[in-house]
Amino acid sequence: MRSRILGSATPAIRRLRPDSFQTAPWICKACQAQRIRSRHYSVPSFPDQKPFYITTPIFYVNAAPHVGHLYTMVLTDIIKRWRVLKGEKALLCTGTDEHGLKVQRAAAKAGIEPKLFCDKGAAIFKQLAQKALITNDHFVRTTDREHKDAVEYAWFLLKEKGYIYTEKHEGWYSVTDEAFYPQSAVQPYLDPPTGRKIMTSIETGSEVEWASEKNYHFRLSAFRNRILDFYKQNPEWIAPEHRMKEVVQAVESGLEDLSISRPSDRLTWGIRVPEDDTQTIYVWLDALMNYATKAGYPWTPGREHAGGWPADCHVIGKDIVRFHCIYWPAFLMALGLPLPRKILTHAHWTLGGAKMSKSTGRVVDPFLALDRFGPDVMRFYLAHDGGIQDDSNYDNIRIITLYNKFLNSSFGNLASRVTRGRKWSVRGAVERIGPWPAEQWQEGPGSRFYNNSLLVAPPKAAASLDAHDPRMAVSHIAELVRAANRFFQMSSPWDKVLPYGPGEPGEEVDKIIYLASEALRMTGILLQPYMPNKAKMLLDQLGVDGSRRTFAYCRPGRDLEYGAPMIDLGVRHEGALFPPLSSEE
């Protein structure tokens, strides 16, 4: 009788007291379903189209963020800003993962209550996002009431559909990874500093401990064929390609059912299993639901896509591929929800050749880096040097070199020479040369630069950003700047200015200034996702109207209204786009 009643109405969720994880009684399902339908979510209303929805992983609050977290945020924000630049509605979600043994033990070590510990940790990640100019629309916390409700709702559906059962589980458990590993996935290791013989995960290197307990399991093995079919139908679902192949091979080798709860006497800090206070929901099932939570899950009829679901792109580090590319699809399939459209995985930042790690303290403080170099320069460096395919080594000397040789000497110097030239006028060159038809550039001085750089670089950058590859895109943008510099230097307009006609240096000089200005204008437009402040400054210097800074104007001759600076250009280093670094750097 109970199962028949449960199947007759939309399942719903119990409510918890804010300061407690105790189980509240389940109430009438019809009443609960009505309450779910009346819930209000912080999602914008876009009735005409689904907004582009992109996410970072949610970050553990057990230790301070390092530059690897900043890199993930920046990559995600660049892609989101790119979509806005194209005129699309876009949403970015980031946040913090606040449950699990790692957080529980970190709070105990700090001697404070877990919630207070999480509040402080979440505030730090919020500050990092703000300092790095991240335009997140949501900041989700797994201790949020709405998130807890959504997780419980999902649990109830999974159990009602028969995908959850109880069984004794034994295996090697990693507190660091919050995951069980089979015998084949662990190996003995001698810890050099202590001389201890321990077992570690082959995949992550984290220490594991033997655990034997009764808990709930998810029928992951039942989804092997469905997941493989999905991979086959979507061969580019995971980027880069080699990680897609690794995931396919892992699933082809077989899937074991997944332990999705922990005894609450061992893990007190988490969301309790509905109707079973003795168990706490597995932190990864809890955490992965965050992406749907902030998109408004569970959705009311007609609002399924209002918050952006399915996600257009999850941006994650390569160390959490298994959770996002195997477990998460299976959970979504079981819940009957559409899968995300893309998983962008990136490599790690190393320091002195070793992976950065909060647990070992081998990290770069992102706040100090942002204070030292500024958010625009750090964003540019991370995108320019960061690894999608392979790990990259973080190096302050490299940042300084990139700044001096490219941003200051090449990019900034070109902007200064073009906009501050006393013998020519950017506005005059745009007025006189801008209206020329494209056919005028088929041959003669400047034609090669026009056809091989101005026409080619923006579409190449756009194609790379559409393919979720900010590093390749910024390399195309940087090459446009270098090509413009070469063209400008070789053309030497200062030697060709006519000695008569004030304000009209001659057609040859106007052509050079116009082409260089167009290169700067389009570079400024394309760099807005990377360097928001510096790009704005450049476009202000060029006098580009705010309504003409979208990608639609990123082609030669598209804007003929700019040229009169909106801000004081200054002299020498005053007002320079990229002034020389101070000696303290």
CATH of the domain at 366: 3.40.50.620
Instruction: Quote the number of domains for the chain.
Output: 2
Quick one: 101 and 217 in the same domain?
Answer: yes
| Residue 585, domain member (yes or no) | no
Give ∠ CA 165-168-170 in degrees, rounded to 5: 125
413 in Cβ contact with 584 (< 8 Å): no
The pair of structure tokens assigned to 166 is 């109880």
- Domain end (from 340, 373, 406): 373
Beta strands in 310-366 (DSSP E): 313-317, 343-346, 349-351, 354-355
Q: Which residues contact 329 (CB under 8 A, 6 or more apart)?
A: 223, 227, 230, 339
Question: What is the pLDDT tens value at each position of the chain, 585 positions in all?
Answer: 333 333 333 333 333 333 333 333 334 343 443 444 344 434 444 445 899 999 999 999 998 999 999 999 999 999 999 999 999 999 999 999 999 988 999 999 999 999 999 999 999 999 999 999 999 999 999 999 999 999 999 999 999 999 999 987 777 878 777 677 777 788 888 877 777 888 888 877 888 888 778 899 999 999 999 999 999 999 999 999 999 999 999 999 999 999 999 999 889 999 999 999 999 999 999 999 999 999 999 998 888 899 999 999 999 999 999 999 999 999 999 999 999 999 999 999 998 877 776 666 678 999 999 999 999 999 999 999 999 999 999 999 999 999 999 999 999 999 999 999 989 999 999 999 999 999 999 999 999 999 999 999 999 999 999 999 999 999 999 999 999 999 999 999 999 999 876 678 999 999 999 999 999 999 999 999 999 999 999 999 999 999 999 999 999 999 999 999 999 887 776 779 999 987 545
Strands 197-201 and 207-218: antiparallel
At 36 the pLDDT is 42
Report residue 201 as tokens.
Answer: 């995960």
Element (H, E) at 173: strand 164-174
Domain-located, residue 576:
no
Same domain, 369 and 427: no
pLDDT at 196: 84
Q: What letter would DSSP give residue 142?
A: T
The pLDDT of residue 214 = 86
User: Does 432 fall in a domain?
Assistant: yes
Q: Are residues 91 and 196 in the same domain?
A: yes
Residues 431, 357 share a domain = no
Residue 430 CA to residue 513 CA, distance in Å, equals 8
Helix or strand holding residue 188 (H, E):
strand 186-190
What distance in Å separates the CA atoms of residue 85 and residue 83, rounded to the nearest whole number? Answer: 5
The verdict on 368 and 457 lying in the same domain is: no
Question: Do 565 and 541 contact (CB within 8 A), yes or no?
Answer: yes
Residue 432's identity, in one-letter code, is: R
Say whether both 311 and 410 belong to one domain. no
Residue 564 inside a domain? The answer is: no
Tokens of 345: 């995985």
Return the pLDDT at 167. Answer: 87
The CATH number of residue 495's host domain is 1.10.730.10
User: What's the CA gap between 87 and 74, in Å, rounded?
Assistant: 20
Residues 503 and 369 grouped into a single domain: no
Contact yes or no for 36/299 (Cβ under 8 A): no
387 lies in a domain?
no
Looking at residue 42, its pLDDT comes to 42
Kindly report whether the peptide bond that precedes residue 11 is cis, defined as omega within 30 degrees of 0.
Answer: no
Asked whether residue 385 is domain-assigned, the answer is no
Range of the structural domain that residue 250 is part of: 2-373
The verdict on residue 379 lying in a domain is no
Exposure of 20 by Cβ count < 10 A (0-12 exposed, 13-18 middle, 19+ buried)?
A: exposed
Note whether residue 227 is domain-resident. Answer: yes
Provide the pLDDT for residue 358.
62
Whether residues 357 and 437 fall in one domain: no
- Tokens of residue 567, six digits: 């801000």
What contacts 24+ positions apart, CB below 8 Å, involve 486-492?
Answer: 487/446, 487/449, 487/453, 487/512, 487/515, 487/516, 487/519, 488/414, 488/417, 488/418, 488/512, 488/516, 491/445, 491/446
- Are 322 and 256 members of one domain? yes
Q: Examine the domain organization and report whether 497 and 362 are in the same domain.
A: no
Give the list of residues 6+ apart from residue 39 with CB closer than 8 angstroms, or none: 146, 149
- The answer to whether residues 487 and 399 belong to one domain is yes
- CA distances 260 to 97, 155, 290, 393, 474, Å, are 16, 10, 16, 36, 41
Predicted TM-score of the model (pTM): 0.86
Verify that 22 and 68 share a domain, yes or no: yes
Distance (Å, rounded) from C-alpha 585 to C-alpha 582? 6
Whether the CB-CB separation of 486 and 512 falls below 8 Å is answered with no
